Structure 1
Amino acid sequence: MHLTGKHINYYHICHRKLWLFHSGISFQQTHANVADGTLLHETAYPQRAKRYREVQLDGIKIDFYDPQERVVHEIKRSNKLEHASIAQLQYYLRVLERHGIENPTGLLEYPKIRRTERVVLTDADRAAIEQWEAAIEQLVNLPSCPPVINKPFCKQCSYYEFCYVSEAGVELDLPPLSVAYL
């Protein structure tokens, strides 16, 4: 199974979102936050397309990679849930390492708040990524969708209506999750 950056990101945010995404259920195309993020990505650094390369390896797509400096540039619209963005960028760095790129680094960029976070990989990060990959494979192969996590950030999610709207007041009755849930 080829994981994408979204798999890693969603694993750190919500296992239900991860399972739905992997199962091909997506509301990304119609969600305002996704459209805003896409616009930001296309307009924040217009000179990037000329200076950096797009890289596709093992199912991941890195939009802005500087091969001379071995730096991945990842643009995010907000630093909320930053841990998930850092994990996604760490995963990109690990995939580059697996393809022979020595000591890649990353820059997590938030143009709206004019902040940049440098991201590197440690041995502990490499070990954690191995665990994430195994846990994700287990999660996406569950026979049914993991439960709603009911966090404040759920209201901003593109899956919000799917998770919280019920027909005729009937609530979903899902089995308990069989793996450790973040």
Structure 2
Amino acid sequence: MSIRGIEMHYYAVCKRKLWLFNRGIGFEQQHDRVAEGKILHEHAYERLDRELSIDDIAVVDALDGDWIREVKISSKMENADRLQMLYYLYLLRERGVEKKGLLSYPKEKKTTEICLDFEETLEVRAALEGVHQVLNGELPPFQKLKYCSKCAYQDFCEAGEAGDEE
């Protein structure tokens, strides 16, 4: 089973979102935050080569010499962004391409360097195993997380929880 980059990101954010997304239950296309991210992606770093595809598994936002770059709206999910970038670096390394990563948050004027070393390789492998466990299991239970209010899946996830609050 090929794991997409966005699925690694979702694994770090919310296992339930990962499971739903993987099964084609997607609400992102109509969500304002996703639209905002697409606009930011189109206009940030226009001088760079755009959208490097890694065997139809992942698409890196931009290629910048020895670096690959991911452009994000906010650093609030930096741990998930980092895991996604590590996964891209891992996929490239498996194909004989050595790169370093940059996570760019243009609205915050912040860039974080990411390198794949031995520890990070182990982290990616453990996350891949975790993704497979989530995807091969039942729908994970709803957990109220700090990002739920900005998630495209919020209404779907909380709909079944309304009767459980009493």
Whole-Å Cα distance in 1 between the matches of residues 125 and 108 of structure 2? 32
Q: 1:141 to 1:46 in 2, by over 3 A?
A: same
Give 2:115's match in structure 1, choosing from 120, 136, 141.
120
Give 2:155's match in structure 1, choosing from 161, 167, 179.
161
Contact 1:75 1:111 in 2 (8 A): yes
Aligned to 2:52: 55
- Could you say what secondary structure the match of 1:77 adopts? coil
Whole-Å Cα distance in 2 between the matches of residues 42 and 155 of structure 1? 25
For 1:145, give the aligned amino acid.
L
Q: Which contiguous aligned blocks of 4+ residues in structure 1 show a shift greater than 3 angstroms?
A: none
How far residue 153 of structure 1 moved from its aligned partner, in angstroms, is 1.2
Aligned-residue sequence identity (percent) comes to 37
Aligned residue pairs: how many?
163
Query: Could you state the TM-score of these two structures normalised by the residue count of structure 2?
Result: 0.92
1:43 counterpart = 2:37:
no
Contact 2:19 2:135 in 1 (8 A): yes
The correspondence of residues 93-104 of structure 1 with structure 2, limited to 5 A, is 93-102=89-98, 104=99
Contact 2:61 2:71 in 1 (8 A): no
- Could you say what secondary structure the match of 2:51 adopts? strand
1:148 counterpart = 2:139:
no
Whole-Å Cα distance in 2 between the matches of residues 33 and 57 of structure 1? 25
The correspondence of residues 80-95 of structure 1 with structure 2, limited to 5 A, is 80-95=76-91
How far residue 170 of structure 1 moved from its aligned partner, in angstroms, is 4.0
Q: As a proportion of its length, which structure holds more helix?
A: 2
Gaps of 5+ in 1: 172-182
Gaps of 5+ in 2: none
